[in-house]
Amino acid sequence: MYLFNTLGRRRVPFDPREPGKVAMYVCGPTVQAAPHLGHGRAAVVFDVVARYLRWRGYEVTYVRNVTDVDDKIIATALAEGVSTDEVVARSYAAFSEAFARLRVEPPTVEPWATHHIPEMIELIERLVETGHAYAAGGDVYFSVRSFADYGKLSGRDLDELLSGARIAPGDHKRDPLDFALWKAAKEGEPSWPSPWGPGRPGWHIECSAMARRYLGDGFDIHGGGQDLVFPHHENEIAQAEAATGKPFARYWLHNGMVNLGGEKMAKSTGHVVDLLGALDRWDPLAVRLFYLRTHYRKPIEFTEEALADAEASLRRLWAFRRRVDAVEATPDREVLDRFIAAMDDDFDVAGALAVVFEAVREGNRRLDAGEDVGGIAAAYDEVVGVLGLAEEVAAVTIPDTLAARFGTEATVDALVARREEARRARDWATADAIRDALAEVGIVVEDTPHGARWHRR
RNA sequence: GGCGACGUGGCCGAGUGGUUAGGCAAGGGUCUGCAAAACCCUGUACCCGGGUUCGAUUCCCGGCGUCGCCUCCA
């Protein structure tokens, strides 16, 4: 299995810290506002990474944090005249709902920043003790120049960074490159006691502290959006490695951005497509497929056509599976092997999807020929399950009035049977009327040589 | 300006030194009461200019273009 490691910018063999086990940490959302399409991508991408690794037999510990203390949360609360807790609760609920609808499995651990202040303080203390950090005016800063490896992830050169660096008013930095580990409390802000006085953690320290808390040093995979490479992940490495002298994370994976009109979606500029809104408008799994059909490291452009396209592709997949009843066969080995070959190559989901579509075509062909498709259908269930794209078969209820019109019970099966009866009698008018009536309540009926089949929408 | 990624057929999107990716859309056909689904057939694409090579979309150099990071950001 090969991964593209941002650290080193190369495709390298994946070799976990402990055989058979994978420890991974992914930067989760700052619960400040409603999620947009970009947040969904990161969640789905790493969901598939975790699902796939588990499917391949690894015992995966997946940690995805929640950042619940931050400048913008405070600003939003202030602007709306509500508590920060309220802003956090509202945003967290929206993220959770969106992720669930995208069929993102919950991580093994979902640590909240504010529940890990002691771990952060401890890490900061170690940095101060070892001379990598200094307190100034109630703040504590990381001394970037004290960490020789600074820039190794993002490929930055300290002297070139200088031009962009700045010291904001009120900072007590000794060097413009330094960044805050701890910020002294200001009036009306949430704060916690610390050796440097009341305050709150800087953004970067939480991830270093929580990743170490749950996964230890030298854990396997650290993921996040490409926009976090610098400075966030660079800083995480600096803090953790300066404090411990040990490697922090071994493989760094970064997902590409979701663009809108050629430009990255960004919360700060309001240049976004609301995620929950999109999930209302399109099938959530079509949104999931929209994310998945492009390699995770590439940017994707949001367009309505792209979503419609994904929906059509999904329907093709699902239509095949509906043609097959219960599957108890052994999954087709070739399909599985080709799927694995694609996924093992830095999670080439697009390539893996091609395998699925080819299997579907072969399956349909065999069904048309009256041949057995058990192995293919079983393989389909395996791989589509790993990708989280299987159709959800929900219970269907229809109004009694509809059934009454055609003199039958209020079940889809009863109406379909009634229609079959009409068809046998060559009563096309009744047959079509039933089909139309079912269509109005979202049921599609299709005739096959072996009788009618129906499905939702 | 610095660092990095990318540029594939109507659209989306993998991949490869020389044999069909795949999806969507389109046209033709088979099947079918109609419809839907499905299957078959149809498109020889890889930014531009050099170079390496028997041969490059695939490697190297240059150019053009797009995007990301360099400030909060999935």
* pLDDT per residue as tens digits for the range A368-397: 999 999 999 999 999 999 999 999 887 888
Rounded-to-integer distance, Cα A361 and Cα A367, Å? 10
Percent of chain A with pLDDT over 90: 82
In the numeric block, the tokens 């209302």 are attached to A280
Strand B contact with A420 (CB < 7 A): no
Residue A166 binned pLDDT confidence (cut-offs 50, 70, 90): low
Q: Which domains does chain A have, with CATH numbers?
A: 2-132+144-155+200-260 (3.40.50.620), 304-392 (1.20.120.640), 400-456 (no CATH)
How confident is the model at residue A230, as a pLDDT? 92
Of residues A66 and A451, more confidently modeled: A66
Rounded-to-integer distance, Cα A194 and Cα A110, Å? 24
AA letter at A129 = E
The contacts of residue A204 (CB under 8 Å, 6+ apart) are A179, A181, A231, A232, A235, A236, A239
How confident is the model at residue A296, as a pLDDT? 96
The C1' atom of B29 and the CA atom of A456 lie apart, in whole Å, by 30
Query: Which residues lie across from A60 on neighbouring strands?
Result: A22
What are the structure tokens assigned to A457, written together?
């929408």
Look at residues A156, A153, A138 and name the one whose alpha carbon lies nearest to residue A238. Answer: A153
Rounded-to-integer distance, Cα A212 and Cα A119, Å? 9
Residue A165 binned pLDDT confidence (cut-offs 50, 70, 90): low
Burial pattern A210-228, b for ≥16 Cβ within 10 A else e, equals bbbbbbebbbbbbbbbbeb
Residue of least CA–C1' distance to B40: A365
How confident is the model at residue A410, as a pLDDT? 84
pLDDT at residue A148 tops 60: yes
The model's pLDDT over A296-332, given as tens digits with 9 standing for 90+, comes to 999 999 999 999 999 999 999 999 999 998 788 999 9
Look at residues A220, A209, A153 and name the one whose alpha carbon lies nearest to residue A181. Answer: A209
Look at residues A457, A34, A50 and name the one whose alpha carbon lies nearest to residue A223. Answer: A50
How confident is the model at residue A168, as a pLDDT? 65
Look at residues A229, A245, A218 and name the one whose alpha carbon lies nearest to residue A22. Answer: A218
Contact A37, A301 (CB under 8 A): no
The model's pLDDT over A85-133, given as tens digits with 9 standing for 90+, comes to 999 999 999 999 999 999 999 999 999 999 999 999 999 999 999 999 9
What are the structure tokens assigned to A15, written together?
């070799």
Residue of least CA–C1' distance to B30: A368
pLDDT at residue A411 tops 80: yes
- Give the bases of strand B that a protein CB approaches within 7 Å: 1-6, 11-15, 21-25, 32-40, 66-74
What are the structure tokens assigned to A410, written together?
């209020």
Look at residues A110, A174, A101, A92 and name the one whose alpha carbon lies nearest to residue A137. Answer: A174
Rounded-to-integer distance, Cα A146 and Cα A155, Å? 17
Residue of least CA–C1' distance to B38: A364
Residue A167 binned pLDDT confidence (cut-offs 50, 70, 90): low
In the numeric block, the tokens 């889809």 are attached to A412
Strand B contact with A10 (CB < 7 A): no
Q: What ipTM was assigned to the predicted interfaces of this complex? A: 0.95
pLDDT at residue A357 tops 60: yes
Report the C-alpha dihedral over residues A88, A90, A92, A95, rounded to 10 degrees: -140
The C1' atom of B22 and the CA atom of A313 lie apart, in whole Å, by 11
Q: Which nucleotide minimizes the distance between its C1' and the CA of A362? A: B39
Contact A214, A232 (CB under 8 A): no
The model's pLDDT over A210-267, given as tens digits with 9 standing for 90+, comes to 999 999 999 999 999 999 999 999 999 999 999 999 999 999 999 999 999 888 998 7
Q: Which nucleotide minimizes the distance between its C1' and the CA of A262? A: B67
